[in-house]
Amino acid sequence: MSVTELFGSSEAKAATPAQTLTIRRPDDWHVHLRDGAMLKAVLPFTAAQFKRGIIMPNLVPPVTSVDAASAYRERILAARPDGNDFTPLMTCYLTDSTHPDEIERGFRDGVWAAAKLYPSGATTNSHHGVTSIPKLAPVLERMEKIGMPVLVHGEATDPAVDIFDREAVFMETEMLPLLKRHQGLKVVVEHVTTAETVELVRAHAGRAAATVTPHHLIINRTSIFQGGLRPHLYCLPVAKRERHRLALRKAVTAGDGNFFIGTDTAPHLRSAKQAECCSAGVFGGATALQTYVQVFDEEGALDHFEAFASENGARFYGLPLNEGTITLEKRPCRVSPTVAVGEEDVVIFRGGEELPWSLGEVRG
């Protein structure tokens, strides 16, 4: 499948040369690819933009063993478009019964790049997750020893906590104690949404980092209700007030090495989104780089984009930087509003809109 087939054609006037930005090939450090027909439908969008991706393990059943991770990796590789070199980086779904030896075996054998900590009940397919972080200490201590990062979905799950406060409460009651107990542990705070979490990450620079999604840079909590309820903008953590969106934009565009791409692209069928109980997740994999580079352009920070997209994450994970380049063009384009999955479809974030930037040539 060609880039034009995936993303549509650009709409620039032939007489006006497009501004271009060529960067080292980027990575996505937080990807939901699902499985089966959904995997085959959505993977080409991520694989066309990113060289590597950290693959979330919250399948049904979750990916909790080395063997399950290896098998899932093979299914992803088999679903890549012909000639594509996308590399999936697998993660372990942590549970109350995860054994340190299994964690170390998977990391030592190069199967797992990291482990994902979902508080039980925090988000999609997280009910097998961790019920007590302190009780996970033997696993976290082993990860600290071997240098394996833990990726944390940072939201409190107490139903008494307001949904817009779940991240803030978790940072205070769970994240700060975790960082204090495990001072050598590498921690990625996933999909940060608040100004306060940005400052927490900066205060623990070097051992803590954060991913930021494209949608949290574009929407705030009001966006979900503009003109009526917009289920395709509902995700967890939910978008916050405008001041938080602006703080995220400032953080990612400031040249701060603690922040890097993590799209949290999370496809759900339209029937699951437009439902009595709407599933949480935004499918942004088809418009991710176009959205990120637009934000950097609007903030006058294109000179910092390559580090955010292609360098900060690899350095935090201790992985080599990618070879090759991708060129982005300031040339309007439209991505399809949806992607078909069997007889249903998935709605694409910003699909159908005129985007000011387009994907150009990938080399190497």
Residues 46 and 341: their CA atoms lie apart, in Å, by: 16
Q: Is 258 annotated as a binding residue?
A: no
pLDDT tens digits for range 173-189: 999 999 999 999 999 99
Note whether residue 364 is domain-resident. Answer: no
Domain carrying residue 256: 28-324
List of residues 6+ apart from 230 with CB closer than 8 A:
223, 224
Work out the end-to-end distance of the chain between its first and last CA atoms, rounded to an integer number of angstroms: 18
Residues 177 and 162: their CA atoms lie apart, in Å, by: 21
Averaged over 143-155, what is the pLDDT? Answer: 98
pLDDT band at 231 (very low <50, low <70, confident <90, very high): very high
Note whether residue 5 is domain-resident. Answer: no
In percent, how much of the chain has pLDDT > 90?
Answer: 95
CB 306 within 8 A of CB 325: no
Q: Is 182 annotated as a binding residue?
A: no
Torsion angle of the four alpha carbons 59, 73, 23, 195, in this order, in degrees rounded to the nearest 10? 30
Q: Is 304 annotated as a binding residue?
A: no
Short-list 121, 115, 335, 100, CA closest to 214: 335
Averaged over 124-146, what is the pLDDT? Answer: 96
Note whether residue 334 is domain-resident. Answer: no
DSSP 3-state of 363: strand
Q: Are strands 150-152 and 112-117 parallel, antiparallel or unpaired?
A: parallel
Note whether residue 337 is domain-resident. Answer: no
Q: Is 128 annotated as a binding residue?
A: no
Whether the pLDDT of residue 10 is over 70: the answer is no
Query: Is 264 a residue of the active site?
Result: yes
Helices (H), 182-237: 195-203, 214-218
Residues 242 and 232: their CA atoms lie apart, in Å, by: 19
User: Any idea what the CATH number is for the domain that residue 200 is in?
Assistant: 3.20.20.140
Residues 137 and 135: their CA atoms lie apart, in Å, by: 5
Averaged over 329-346, what is the pLDDT? Answer: 97
Averaged over 153-157, what is the pLDDT? Answer: 98
Whether the pLDDT of residue 204 is over 90: the answer is yes
What pLDDT is attached to residue 192? Answer: 98
Length of the chain: 364
Q: Are strands 338-341 and 52-55 parallel, antiparallel or unpaired?
A: unpaired
pLDDT band at 14 (very low <50, low <70, confident <90, very high): very low
pLDDT band at 244 (very low <50, low <70, confident <90, very high): very high
Note whether residue 38 is domain-resident. Answer: yes
List of residues 6+ apart from 282 with CB closer than 8 A:
213, 215, 232, 233, 234, 235, 264, 265, 266, 349
Preceding peptide of 159 cis, ω within 30°: no
Which residue among the candidates 27, 28, 256, 264 is catalytic per the annotation? Answer: 264
What pLDDT is attached to residue 240? Answer: 98
What pLDDT is attached to residue 7? Answer: 75
- What φ, ψ does residue 192 adopt, rounded to 5°? -65, 150
Task: Give the chain's domain count.
Answer: 1
Residue with tokens 């991240």: 167
Q: Is 32 annotated as a binding residue?
A: yes
Whether the pLDDT of residue 1 is over 80: the answer is no
pLDDT band at 310 (very low <50, low <70, confident <90, very high): very high
What pLDDT is attached to residue 5? Answer: 66
Note whether residue 333 is domain-resident. Answer: no
Q: Is 328 annotated as a binding residue?
A: no
CB 96 within 8 A of CB 131: yes
pLDDT tens digits for range 15-32: 467 799 999 999 999 999
Averaged over 203-224, what is the pLDDT? Answer: 98
Summary mean pLDDT of the chain: 96
Short-list 160, 151, 158, 225, CA closest to 186: 151
Note whether residue 305 is domain-resident. Answer: yes
Note whether residue 257 is domain-resident. Answer: yes
